[in-house]
Chain A
Amino acid sequence: MNVYLSMLIGYILVNNYVMCQFFGICPFLGVSKKFDTALGMGMAVTFVITLASFITWLIQYYLLTPFNLGYLQTIAFILVIAVLVQVVENALKKLSFSLYQALGVYLPLITTNCVVLAVAINNITDGWNLLEATFSGCCSALGFTLALLLLSCIRERLELSNMPKWMKGSPGALITAGLMAISFMGFGGLI
């Protein structure tokens, strides 16, 4: 139980993939202009990462390791993620159309979100078992969502503020993210 608690705090606050490790910066800056879109993206990512961690773990230990195909890891994982995103998109369209409409636009973007691949690879490097890997995926995704939501709230306010023209948009967002990262450093000693 202790492992899971420290994972929960660790991946959401202390080792947040976006704020403390520089993964998933593109969607972090790209879809953080509005709170609603950020929420949609966060939910879609959480769903896909949790599933992807589960499946890539199975692939690694039941397919790649027994047949000595470790060098195919990147190709195998990214294919699984690309297919998974496609499957999730089609399944959502059939099962819950309202959810599909809310998340639909963001789903194809998830393939190139590097948090997904990074979590899958790190799960194997860290040597988690199946349950731990899935849980760590879920927590990492929640950490991503948290960072995304926080930045989107700040950026909604920034839009209304009076900034120099050359600072509007991405430079402003980057500096805001820098200040957020400093505050996340404060969680450093928790675990």
Chain B
Amino acid sequence: MHKKQNFLSVFLNGLIVENPTFVLMLGMCPTLGITTQAMNGVGMGLATTFVLVFSNLFISLLRNIIPEKVRIPSYIVIIASFVTLIDLMMQAFLPDLRASLGTYIPLITVNCIIFARAESYAAKNPPILSIADGLGMGLGFTCSITLLSCVRELFGSGTIFGLQMMPEAYQPMAVMNQVPGGFVTLGLMMIIVNFIRTAIQNKNTRKEAAA
């Protein structure tokens, strides 16, 4: 059974069904490293989406030209070029955001999401679908890390996007802004996601059994 692929189904697949953070577990370093403030999550997610869409497009266009043996260096050069582009653009237009994201911007180059999509999707599919895949995966990544960073910012500083959320008396949990907080929050969120997924699966199997 081969399902026909169209723009929307590929897009939704990246956004929800194969969400890069919660389902594929890719790109963990930026996911944990910069998610102390919601704004950082949005910035990082959009920068990654930009790189992902363009690298997918170009790798897909060149998929019949790049020889099999040198594909890894070729992909990496294409990806690194777009990363440099967004890095310089952010330095010019959004210097504050660039400063708070720090080394993680050049490190988008080695974000495994981008590489994995290039290898497993863009190298085998036509350009339009590859753009859909890049957009879906990128926005899926953006949503997950924004969610994660909202939770961490809420408990770590009592704010979301810089707006005071917690009552004045709330003592911020400093550990949420540090490494352990990141690991544990993501772990707990993943438990919730797994819980929902198992519940849906069980429901589907019961439905099939009934039918």
Does chain A bind chain B? yes
Residues of A within 8 A of B (CB): 19-26, 28-30, 71-75, 78-79, 82-83, 86, 108, 111-114, 116-118, 121-122, 125, 165-167, 170-175, 177-179, 181-182, 184-185
Closest-CB distance, B65 to chain A (whole angstroms): 19
Tell whether B191 is near chain A: CB-to-CB under 8 Å: yes
Q: Is the CB of A185 within 8 A of B25?
A: no
Q: In whole angstroms, how far apart are the Cα atoms of A175 and B192 in the complex?
A: 13
Contact of B77 among A21, A79, A173, A182 (CB under 8 A): A79
Q: In whole angstroms, how far apart are the Cα atoms of A113 and B187 in the complex?
A: 21
21 contacts between A and B (CB under 8 A): A19-B179, A22-B29, A23-B29, A25-B29, A25-B32, A26-B25, A71-B88, A78-B80, A114-B29, A116-B110, A117-B107, A117-B109, A121-B106, A125-B103, A165-B194, A170-B187, A174-B184, A178-B184, A179-B180, A181-B180, A182-B180
Q: Is the CB of B72 within 8 A of A108?
A: yes
Chain A residue with Cβ nearest B83: A74
Contact flags (1/0) for B71-113 with A, using CB distance below 8 Å? 0110011001101100110000000000000010011011110
Please give 19 more A-B residue pairs, beta carbons under 8 A apart, in addition to A112-B112, A117-B109. Answer: A23-B33, A25-B31, A26-B26, A72-B84, A74-B80, A78-B80, A78-B109, A79-B77, A82-B72, A86-B73, A114-B29, A116-B110, A117-B106, A170-B25, A172-B187, A174-B187, A174-B190, A178-B182, A178-B187
Q: Is the CB of B109 within 8 A of A174?
A: no
Which residues of B lie under 8 Å from residue A26 when comparing CB positions?
Answer: 25-29, 112
Tell whether B10 is near chain A: CB-to-CB under 8 Å: no
Q: Is the CB of A181 within 8 A of B110?
A: no
Chain B residue with Cβ nearest A18: B179
Q: Is the CB of B106 within 8 A of A111?
A: no
Q: In whole angstroms, how far apart are the Cα atoms of A75 and B109 in the complex?
A: 9
Q: How many B residues, CB 8 Å from partner? A: 42
Tell whether B115 is near chain A: CB-to-CB under 8 Å: yes
Q: Is the CB of A171 within 8 A of B194?
A: yes
Which residues of A lie under 8 Å from residue B181 when comparing CB positions?
Answer: 178
Tell whether B164 is near chain A: CB-to-CB under 8 Å: no
In the complex, the number of residue pairs spanning A and B with C-beta atoms less than 8 Å apart equals: 126
Chain A residue with Cβ nearest B107: A114
Tell whether B204 is near chain A: CB-to-CB under 8 Å: no
Q: Is the CB of A170 within 8 A of B190?
A: yes
Contact of B72 among A22, A28, A111, A117 (CB under 8 A): A111
Contact of A22 among B33, B76, B109, B184 (CB under 8 A): B33
Contacts known (A117-B107, A117-B109, A181-B180); A112 close to B115, Cβ less than 8 A: yes
Which residues of B lie under 8 Å from residue A175 when comparing CB positions?
Answer: 183-184, 187-188
Q: Is the CB of A185 within 8 A of B73?
A: no
Which residues of A lie under 8 Å from residue B180 when comparing CB positions?
Answer: 178-179, 181-182, 185
Tell whether B186 is near chain A: CB-to-CB under 8 Å: yes
Contact of A112 among B110, B175, B191 (CB under 8 A): B110
Closest-CB distance, B93 to chain A (whole angstroms): 16
